[in-house]
Structure 1
Amino acid sequence: MAQTVRVRLVDDLDGSEAQEKVSFTFDGKPREIELSHENAAKFRQLMQPYMEASRPAKADNIATKGAPAPVLTQAQQREEGGAIRAWCEKHHLPVNKLGRIPAMTRKAWEQETRHGDRSLLDQLLTKAGIDPSLPGDKPEPDKVVPIKGRVSVEDHLERLARTVGKLSDPQETRLRAASEGSGTATAKDAADRSSYEALVRRGCMQREAEDTYSITEVGRTWVRLHEPALTA
């Protein structure tokens, strides 16, 4: 019995039926993707401003640039950003909780996690006033030693506190209450928990147990730096 085999191309982006293959090169890496006409048109429309503003690249420039990481989706970018920020927290390095991650920090993360090369990490630690030779992945504030010609422990804590930025009113209220009280707090409802978890992500508090949190030295420093000005 004769059989007919029908090959159906699938859109690599959303799983719908694909009608064409789009080829492109990014950072020296040739890529191709199967897309529907609609998604292919969106891709070309997205690339159009960059194509108009760009210029032809020399072959030797492409060959000598190596092979950087491929283009990431937004979800992959968020996941990678979270991994880098967790890595910074692990090493007690200052990093903004939101927004762009410095290129040097990203490169240090890649070298240390993917290749075991700590050279850039040690540079960042030294710049932040942390002795790279200290054991452990996350030195406590009292173990952050001043390095000659660098910054003191107090300056280092202030630098970390300044990266926290502005807190929401509920977050600030709860942080000040912990600072003025015993230093610990218990989440009694969802609103409490949301604020405390946000403070944990910003490095101002840490979770001790379920619904139990304690203020960090960074959090105390933030409160000190944001004391309301006295008026006459």
Structure 2
Amino acid sequence: PPPRNRDDGPNPDPDYPDGDPDGGGSGDGDVPKDPAEPPEDPLIALARAVHALAWSSSRTGDSALKTKVREPDTFDGSDPKKLHEFLVQCELNFQDHPCAFRSDRAKVTFTQSYLKGMALAWFKPDLLNPDNYDCPLWMDDYHEFLQELTTNFGPHDAIADAIQQLENLTMKDGSRITKYDEIARVRKPSTLTQLCELAQTIDAHYWECKAEISHTTKSASDKSQSSNSDNKTKSLSSLSSA
């Protein structure tokens, strides 16, 4: 064979005259496709396009399918009775955006953003503390934050408050009370849930009875009006004959 120059590079592999067997090529550029190769099946191309579109839609998110939850009302700590409702509204927002509230710190920050007045002032010193190495537990623990918020701005004794409200129930001068005797024929429920179900059943029967009475009264009224109309017609006919 003729002598090789130093810049000629290594001999090409006779089994791979185009270069590297791994597909790197010899540096002469990509080899054009064989014009004799048949085109891609249109059905396969369509299936590939649909798959790509579905993948793109899943990547962009499902914001159109999300429910629209109302933002929480602000809580200033002046009325402890409003704390429970405020926390329920926050929890609804957490459930509506689970990916955004995976961490406790995100939940704490969101809840604090709807505090104002003395409730926000209670947490302000720790929020403005430049020493982040000595931050309180509630900053990274939502349950600790709830404990801090409830202890300082929630009802002192919810059970005692409920008992007091029941004992102080009074009727106004113009109020009326409706008594039902039907419950006396049923055994006294042993749980609050059973009592609620019994009350709902009795209430449903009551309105069914009211509907039947209304229908019966209307039918009797229609018959009475029809009878009066017939009597008037007969009277006018007799007067005309006379």
Give the structure-1-normalised TM-score. 0.22
Which is helix-richer, 1 or 2? 2
Greater C-alpha Rg: 2
Which is strand-richer, 1 or 2? 1
Give the structure-2-normalised TM-score. 0.21
Which of structures 1 and 2 has the larger relative contact order (alpha carbons within 8 angstroms, sep 6+)? 2
